[in-house]
């Protein structure tokens, strides 16, 4: 993820991009811990187990969504090779 983001920005702005990425990771981690902690919290053992079930199912669903999203935006290496070879032939 870091390589993909930093390779997509101008080298002069790579420090800013790295800082924004790290801040987003920290914020996402803090929000995630708070959200899952809120679901798990409970007074009795049954409430805690129920919260753990909800948190685990939510995490699994988010992982599936993230995987589908990552696969849909991933560049096609074969297509980029073909376009580079077409540019070389044309140039």
Q: In the chain, how many domains are there?
A: 1
Q: What is the pLDDT of residue 64?
A: 96
Closest by alpha carbon to 31, among 62, 53, 72, 69?
A: 62
Q: What is the pLDDT of residue 35?
A: 85
Q: What is the pLDDT of residue 86?
A: 61
Q: What is the pLDDT of residue 1?
A: 73
Contact assessment for residue 39 and residue 55, using Cβ atoms and an 8 Å cutoff: yes
> What domain range is 23 assigned to?
2-90
pLDDT 10s digit of each residue in the chain, 91 long? 778 778 888 888 888 989 999 999 999 999 989 888 887 887 788 888 888 898 899 999 999 999 999 888 877 666 655 665 566 666 5
Distance CA 9, CA 17 (A): 7
pTM, two decimals, is: 0.56
């Amino acid at each position: 993820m870091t390589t993909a983001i930093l390779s997509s920005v101008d080298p002069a702005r790579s420090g800013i991009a790295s800082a924004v990425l790290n801040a987003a990771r920290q914020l996402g981690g803090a929000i995630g811990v708070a959200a899952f902690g809120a679901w798990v919290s409970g007074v009795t053992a049954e409430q805690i187990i129920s919260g753990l079930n909800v948190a685990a199912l939510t995490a699994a669903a988010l992982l599936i969504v993230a995987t589908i999203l990552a696969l849909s935006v991933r560049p096609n290496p074969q297509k980029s090779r073909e376009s580079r070879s077409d540019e070389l032939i044309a140039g």
